């Protein structure tokens, strides 16, 4: 199998939990991703990379708040555009270093994504951004800056902002054209810059951060991708996490994934968006047969996209595939 593969790279994959987010740390992480991309290119895949920006855009917002007495602080959607440029440059440099023998180049496309201005998610902040704080620090930030803060996975408190569902990536045609000519395209950074149409049809920025997994699904659909890969910090999806029955899943159908989501196996703040995006991708009406989604680490992307009975030995990640089409019974 080959075609276009869209890789959704989490912002935490560039700034890991135990790191401060220095440029040196982020570049080393980008090199690890680039080596996985090289393996896929050698197998015949065209690559589009969508990256998150949760840690980075939150850090940038703090820098702007702290310097507001000297220069005006900019709106959140503009900070998202700034992180698209910074992280897109970082990823492209890593791709040039690792993949320069395999590709004509790497291109970062500043990407706008249309949202529904009536999306109720705009009134209910849920998307964590920036660093972790203690309970007392979070309370102080809520009082001083009016930020919404929430506890995040037992690791501390983070700022949360609105996260509307993406509808249409505006630059999809440009992304598709570049990918078809062999370029590795970095697009939809941070889920894309959220925009909504005004009364006269023009686009206006919206202060929000789109979930990059849902944005990657929309981009993958728009460019006719054959595979959608959510690159994360765990090798594979786990069922019954934290219990004696915990186990990894090598492959599940969309129906099985939906059942696990309904059972609460995948929390909305962690694995949930990834699994939902995978299900939506493989179930898209009119999609070409054989689409698959995967969830795994950078090191296991190649093994996970390989055919189940392929040449790769050892562990792989989790594959999500469409439900099998029932075969009609023969009528005597």
Is 274 noted as a catalytic residue in this protein? yes
Q: Give the C-alpha separation, 30 to 21, whole Å.
A: 12
Q: Which of 54, 274, 316, 317 is catalytic?
A: 274
Tally of CB atoms within 10 A around 314: 6
Q: Which residues of 210-240 are buried (b: 16+ CB within 10 A; e: fewer)?
A: bbbbbbbbbbbbbbebbbbbbbbeebbbbbe
Count of all residues that appear for the chain in the document? 332
CA nearest 83: which of 67, 60, 113? 60
The active-site residue, picked from 10, 54, 127, 190, is 127
Residue with tokens 């981009």: 219
First-last CA distance in the chain: 37
Pairing assessment for the beta strands 251-253 and 247-248 based on DSSP bridges: unpaired
Spatial CB neighbours of 259, under 8 Å, sequence gap ≥ 6: none
Is residue 127 part of the annotated active site? The answer reads yes
Active site includes 290?
no
Catalytic residue among 3, 12, 21, 105: 12
Can you tell me which residue has the tokens 């810059």?
A: 193
Q: Which of 54, 191, 192, 212 is catalytic?
A: 212
223, 179 contact by CB (below 8 A)? yes
Q: d(Cα 233, Cα 246) in Å, to the nearest integer?
A: 17
Q: Do residues 320 and 291 touch, judged by C-beta distance below 8 A?
A: no
Q: Is 53 a catalytic residue?
A: no
Residues pairing with 169 in the sheet: 113
Q: What are phi and psi of 33, to 5 degrees?
A: -65, -40
DSSP state of 298: G
Q: What is the phi/psi pair of residue 110, to 5°?
A: -65, 120
Is residue 43 annotated as a catalytic residue, yes or no?
no
| Catalytic pick among 10, 11, 80, 88 | 11
Catalytic site positions: 11-12, 127, 212, 274
């Amino acid at each position: 199998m080959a075609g276009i593969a869209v890789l959704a790279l989490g912002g935490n994959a560039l700034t890991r939990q135990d790191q401060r987010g220095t440029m040196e740390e982020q570049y080393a992480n980008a090199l690890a991703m680039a080596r996985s991309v090289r393996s896929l290119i050698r197998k015949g895949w065209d690559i589009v990379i969508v990256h998150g920006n949760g840690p980075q855009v939150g850090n940038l917002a703090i820098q702007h708040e702290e310097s507001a007495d000297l220069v005006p602080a900019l709106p959140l959607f503009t900070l998202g555009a700034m992180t698209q440029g910074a992280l897109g440059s970082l990823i492209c440099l890593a791709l040039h270093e690792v993949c320069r023998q395999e590709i004509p180049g790497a291109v970062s496309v500043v990407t706008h994504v249309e949202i529904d201005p009536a999306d109720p998610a705009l009134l209910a902040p849920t998307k964590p951004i920036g660093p972790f704080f203690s309970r007392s620090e979070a309370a102080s930030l809520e009082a001083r800056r009016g930020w919404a803060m929430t506890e995040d996975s037992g690791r501390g408190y983070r700022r949360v902002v609105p996260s509307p569902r993406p509808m249409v990536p505006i630059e999809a045609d440009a992304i598709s054209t570049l990918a078809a000519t062999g370029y590795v395209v970095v697009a939809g950074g941070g889920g894309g810059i959220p925009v909504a149409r005004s009364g006269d049809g023009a686009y206006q920025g919206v202060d929000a951060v789109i979930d990059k997994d849902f944005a990657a699904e929309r981009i993958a659909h728009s460019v006719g991708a054959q595979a959608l890969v959510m690159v994360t910090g765990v090798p594979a999806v786990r069922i019954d996490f934290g219990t004696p029955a915990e186990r990894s899943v090598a492959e599940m159908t969309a129906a099985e994934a939906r059942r696990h989501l309904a059972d609460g196996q995948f929390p909305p703040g962690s694995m949930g968006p990834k699994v939902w995006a995978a299900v939506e991708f493989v179930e898209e009406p009119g999609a070409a047969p054989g689409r698959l989604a995967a969830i795994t680490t950078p090191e296991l992307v190649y093994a996970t996209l390989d055919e189940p009975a392929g040449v790769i030995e050892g562990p792989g990640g989790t594959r999500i595939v469409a439900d099998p089409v029932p075969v009609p019974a023969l009528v005597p």
